[in-house]
Amino acid sequence: MDFALDEEWATAAELAREIFADHATAERLRAVEERPDRIDEALWAQLGRAGLLGSVLDEDVGGAGLGLGGLCALLREQGRAVAPVPLWPSAVAALAVAGWGADRQRAALLPGVADGSVRLTAALEEFGPAPPAAPACAAEEDGPRWRLTGEKAVVPAPFGADRVLVSAMTGRGPGLFLVAAGGAGIGWQRCETTDRDVAGHLRLDGAPAEAVGAPGGGAPAEVLRWASVALSALQLGVAEGALDRAAGYVREREQFGRPLGSLQAVQHQLADCYVEVDALRVAVWQAVSAVVAGERAAEAVLVAKWWAGHGGLNVVHRVQHVHGGIGVDTDYPVHRYFLRGKQLAGTLGGPSAVLAELGDVLVEGRAR
């Protein structure tokens, strides 16, 4: 199978790489880490002016129609630079509105998403053992609208978001709903994630909401697949960026009068990294192809998610290890790759949970 990037995806990725290289410098990252929200607003605005925030959306709302594949190409570049912008939750939520939202929802939100004036986020995880596909958060009909009650955990970049896409359970099955980030019945508890980003635990107490698509349909499962693929693509970029830094470091650093990269033990570590990055790369683009084609998408997405959690975390751990003591120095950039890779490895389920789910999917497929 040919996993070469679509020409339009590649063009968007090249532009994104240039913007991230200009903005996500070590000095700029340190400055953003001092901000209360940990978001580079200037970078976000630049991505909007360049048309990249809306590039995944259809042309009728100001996008370029690049879809999930285009989003993954952008996220890969973001991961390489560990750039502090909430691209994946806003884009995934926007794709959900584009795919299942009512015309008025699309008209009200998507043009603003495209130009960067509207920011969305996604509340797809909860506390406790319940998987994201079976949320405990409850949705009850209230005339033409809905009311949500429950808790959502570690919602990414909620402060400054305009709307939150929330997964909740109805009498007809899981559904997706939009709530105003600062609306009635909404409470936020600020929290800090492993990678020092700011997230929020969301408490919903009869919060008014609008359904996105018909509850009980296929939208929640599909959005979870999109989010998993997006996170895997972001992890791919993180792993590639970390490996690039390690390769540069061991070429320049000397030990016992020899370049560190000439030591066999170091070569083996980085060779293992290369193999796992390559496996993750293939798994990500196979998952994108499967989701777009609608063929065995559940299996392909879980394989990519497992490689992102298992292989991606292995890579950033080895990279930090070959840097020695400087790898854990917060004044040296490589620590950001480890922290980001660690956080991504557990988002929407860690490798063990993903592997168990993959086993269930394979058994179910064989039973048919």
pLDDT in tens, 14-68: 999 999 999 999 999 999 999 999 999 999 999 999 999 999 999 999 899 999 9
- Residue by residue, DSSP assigns 289-304 as HHHHHTSSHHHHHHHH
Q: Are 250 and 274 in contact (CB under 8 A)?
A: no
- Would you say the C-alpha torsion 241, 243, 248, 253 has a positive or negative sign? positive
Secondary structure (3-state) at 128: coil
Q: What is the spatial distance between Cα 251 and Cα 264, in angstroms, rounded to a whole number?
A: 13
- Residue whose entry in the numeric block shows the structure tokens 């949320």: 135
Cβ pair 341, 235 in contact under 8 A: yes
| 163 three-class SS | strand
In tens, the pLDDT along 127-171 reads: 987 789 999 999 999 988 999 999 999 999 999 999 999 999 999
**Is residue 36 packed enough to be buried (19+ CB in 10 Å), middle (13-18) or exposed (0-12)?**
exposed
Reduced to 3 states (helix: H, G, I; strand: E, B; else coil), residue 236 is helix
CA 268 to mean position of chain CA atoms: 30
Structure tokens belonging to residue 226: 């999109």
Task: Considering only the C-alpha atoms of the chain, give the largest distance between any 2 of them, rounded to a whole number of Å.
Answer: 76
**Angle CA(11)–CA(240)–CA(14) in degrees, nearest 5?**
10
Helix, strand, or coil (residue 310): helix
Residue 365 has φ and ψ, to the nearest 5°, of -65, -40
Per-residue pLDDT of the chain (368 residues; tens, 9 = 90+): 555 678 899 999 999 999 999 999 999 999 999 999 999 999 999 999 999 999 999 999 989 999 999 999 999 999 999 999 999 999 999 999 999 999 999 999 999 999 999 999 999 999 987 789 999 999 999 988 999 999 999 999 999 999 999 999 999 999 999 999 999 999 999 999 999 999 999 999 999 999 999 999 999 999 999 999 999 999 999 999 999 999 988 888 767 777 777 778 888 999 999 999 999 999 999 999 999 998 889 999 999 999 999 999 999 999 998 988 787 888 888 999 999 999 999 999 999 999 999 999 999 876 65
Which domains are assigned to the chain?
Answer: 7-118 (1.10.540.10), 121-211 (2.40.110.10), 219-367 (1.20.140.10)
Three-class SS state of 255: strand
pLDDT score, position 366: 67
Give the whole-angstrom CA distance, residue 263 versus residue 296. Answer: 43
pTM for the model stands at 0.95
Q: What is the pLDDT of residue 367?
A: 61
How many helices (H) and strands (E) the chain has is answered by: 11, 9
Give the C-alpha separation, 341 to 308, whole Å.
9
